[in-house]
């Protein structure tokens, strides 16, 4: 079993591991850590089956993965959007018909919020995230509606992929979303895909990309474990 430093992710030499105490020291960053925790994290992961909402094409020498955005969140947002936009239509209708321009100006901020919510809602119905993986290039594209987060990376600069869980708290409780990240050889964290409602989707993406690029899965501090 190879031992990787949880701080800088360099491989630790056997000579720097105290097998009696199961402690190791990473010479490049001088990190002292417990090997037993690393050993537990290196337990072989079970393969994840293709989850709903994801299509994969392995018929060519390249890997193509598509994830549809539509889900239960889109339905909930649609209901909220209809009520919000309907209220704003009534608001502006009253303000304009009665010549209450101050009232109309006050509602303009809420009207802009409604436009933003409507855009997000439509995107959830029509958009797809496409991940294209080849030995020379990895690209992330969101379409057809323009969306931030499009990326192009060189796979040779990536040492590991991993998943993070984000917990969102509000007055109605908590919910979790999941993100796919890439760790570069220089230690930079690149956020690739965000807002995944299913941990299985996120972990499946990690599994398939690492398998295609023949990257050995190693533990990353703060990642979501299967």
Which region among 45-49, 103-107, 193-197, 198-202 has the lowest average model confidence (pLDDT)?
45-49
The answer as to whether 143 is a domain residue is: yes
The answer as to whether 2 is a domain residue is: yes
Q: Are 160 and 189 in the same domain? A: yes
The answer as to whether 222 is a domain residue is: no
Q: Are 177 and 93 in the same domain? A: no
- Domain residues for the domain of 204 are 50-68+128-213
Q: What is the pLDDT of residues 42-83, one digit of tens each?
A: 555 678 888 988 999 877 789 999 999 998 889 999 999 999
Distance between CA atoms of residues 49 and 106, nearest Å:
51
The answer as to whether 55 is a domain residue is: yes
Q: Residue 209 above 90 pLDDT? A: yes
The answer as to whether 116 is a domain residue is: yes
The residues pairing with 73 across neighbouring beta strands, listed in sequence order, are: none
Q: Are 58 and 163 in the same domain? A: yes
Backbone angles phi, psi at 196, to 5 degrees: -75, 125
Q: On the CB side of 86, how many CA atoms lie within 13 Å of its CA?
A: 6
The answer as to whether 221 is a domain residue is: no
Q: Are 63 and 136 in the same domain? A: yes
pLDDT at position 132, please?
95
Q: Are 11 and 119 in the same domain? A: no
**Cα distances (angstroms) measured from residue 82 to each of 88, 122, 151, 198:** 10, 12, 33, 26
Q: What is the pLDDT of residues 133-164, one digit of tens each?
A: 999 999 999 999 999 999 999 999 999 999 99
**Cα distances (angstroms) measured from residue 90 to each of 22, 113, 116:** 68, 16, 18
Q: Are 157 and 209 in the same domain? A: yes
CATH code for the domain in which residue 63 is found: 2.30.29
**C-alpha 11 chain-centroid distance:** 26
């Amino acid at each position: 079993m190879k031992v990787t430093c949880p701080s800088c992710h360099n491989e630790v030499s056997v000579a720097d591991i105290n097998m009696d105490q199961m402690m190791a020291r990473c010479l490049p960053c001088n990190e002292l850590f417990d090997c037993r925790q690393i050993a537990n994290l290196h337990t072989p992961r079970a393969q994840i089956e293709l989850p709903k909402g994801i299509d994969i094409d392995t018929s060519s020498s390249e890997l193509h993965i598509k994830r549809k955005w539509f889900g239960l969140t889109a339905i909930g947002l649609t209901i909220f959007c209809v009520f919000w936009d309907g209220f704003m239509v009534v608001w502006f209708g009253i303000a304009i018909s009665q010549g209450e321009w101050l009232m109309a100006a006050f509602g303009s901020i809420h009207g802009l919020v409604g436009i933003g919510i409507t855009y997000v809602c439509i995107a959830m119905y029509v958009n797809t995230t496409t991940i294209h993986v080849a030995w020379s290039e990895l690209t992330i594209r969101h379409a057809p509606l323009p969306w931030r987060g499009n990326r192009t990376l060189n796979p040779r600069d990536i040492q590991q992929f991993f998943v993070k869980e984000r917990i969102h708290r509000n007055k109605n409780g908590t919910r979790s979303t999941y993100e796919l990240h890439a760790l570069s050889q220089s230690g930079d964290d690149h956020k690739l895909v965000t807002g995944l409602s299913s941990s299985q989707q996120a972990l499946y993406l990690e599994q398939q990309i690492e398998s295609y690029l023949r990257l050995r899965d190693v533990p990353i501090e703060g990642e979501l474990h299967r």
